[in-house]
């Protein structure tokens, strides 16, 4: 009787040990990975997290404004209304992004253009609003027309303007960002049609929180 009891106890102990060994063989790799991450230096822990798909840095979205003309960039001015001025090497102006021609000025040399991402641009050819120069401008769009990037907006006579003593430079000015955001000037010394000259960067949540907090402190 005693021998039977001892045999049964031995069998139970052996079964328990086999079960423990099987359990470690199934989960030991995962446990080892977690231990490795926990004991790794900070940079290594970041690498582990990136490998699992976690974002380590939040970046805001941005949109590009292309150049409406090709030529040398003669001015880039920051401030309340960021501005880029181009000395064109052709007689045509194209849509810098998808959007809508919200206003076409009577002379036909300037327009307000609202992009699909809510940025209002003032675009002008020449530096004078002299009615005697109207014959040098030929708009190829109408007011309230919706266009795609690269659509021909305006043709103008550069040589005729210069003969009249007027500039033929093309100006692009940011009038408003209806959805907010920061404007960055990104043009090089020379740009091609459609090449980025401005970036409109979305406000990050942190920036919005900081500005709201600053306003709250001032008003309290």
Q: How many residues does the chain have?
A: 220
Banded model confidence at residue 40, pLDDT cuts 50, 70, 90: very low
**Helices then strands, each counted (H, E), the chain:** 4, 14
Task: Compute the mean pLDDT over every residue in the chain, rounded to the nearest whole number.
Answer: 77
pTM above 0.75, yes or no: no
Model confidence pLDDT, tens digit, residues 51-63: 232 222 345 789 9
Residue 118, in any domain of the structure: yes
Specify the pLDDT at position 24: 41
Displacement of CA 122 from its chain's centroid (Å):
20
Specify the pLDDT at position 10: 54
* Cβ proximity of 181 and 201 under 8 Å: yes
Residue 54, in any domain of the structure: no
Which of 34-48, 97-111, 168-182, 202-216 shows the lowest per-residue confidence on average (mean pLDDT)? Answer: 34-48
% helix / strand / coil in the chain, to the nearest 5?
A: 35, 30, 35
Number of domains in the chain: 1
Residue 43, in any domain of the structure: no
Model confidence pLDDT, tens digit, residues 128-176: 778 889 999 999 999 999 999 999 999 999 999 999 999 999 999 999 9
Residue 16, in any domain of the structure: no
Tell me the residue range of the domain where 122 lies. 62-203
Residue 48, in any domain of the structure: no
Specify the pLDDT at position 9: 57
Residue 215, in any domain of the structure: no
Residue 127, in any domain of the structure: yes
CATH of residue 94's domain is 2.70.70.10
Number of neighbouring beta carbons within 10 Å of residue 88: 21
Residue 109, in any domain of the structure: yes
36 pLDDT more than 50? no
């Amino acid at each position: 009787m005693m021998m039977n009891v001892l045999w049964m106890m031995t069998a139970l102990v052996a079964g328990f040990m086999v079960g423990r060994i099987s359990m470690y063989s199934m989960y030991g790799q995962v446990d080892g990975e977690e231990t490795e991450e926990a004991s790794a230096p900070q940079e290594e822990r970041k690498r582990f997290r990136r490998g699992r798909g976690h974002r380590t840095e939040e970046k805001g979205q941005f949109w590009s404004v292309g150049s409406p003309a090709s030529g040398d960039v003669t001015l880039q001015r920051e401030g309340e209304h960021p501005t880029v001025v181009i000395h064109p090497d052709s007689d045509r102006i194209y849509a810098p992004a998808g959007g809508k021609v919200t206003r076409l000025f009577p002379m036909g040399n300037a327009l307000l253009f609202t992009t699909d991402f809510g940025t209002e641009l003032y675009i002008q050819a020449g530096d004078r609003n002299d009615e005697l120069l109207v014959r040098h401008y030929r708009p190829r769009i109408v007011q309230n027309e919706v266009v795609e990037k690269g659509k021909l907006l305006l043709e103008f006579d550069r040589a005729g303007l210069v003969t009249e003593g007027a500039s033929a430079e093309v100006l692009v000015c940011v009038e408003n960002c209806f959805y907010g955001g920061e404007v960055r000037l990104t043009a090089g010394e020379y740009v091609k049609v459609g090449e980025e000259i401005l970036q409109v960067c979305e406000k990050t949540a942190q920036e919005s929180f900081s500005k709201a907090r600053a306003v709250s402190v001032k008003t309290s």
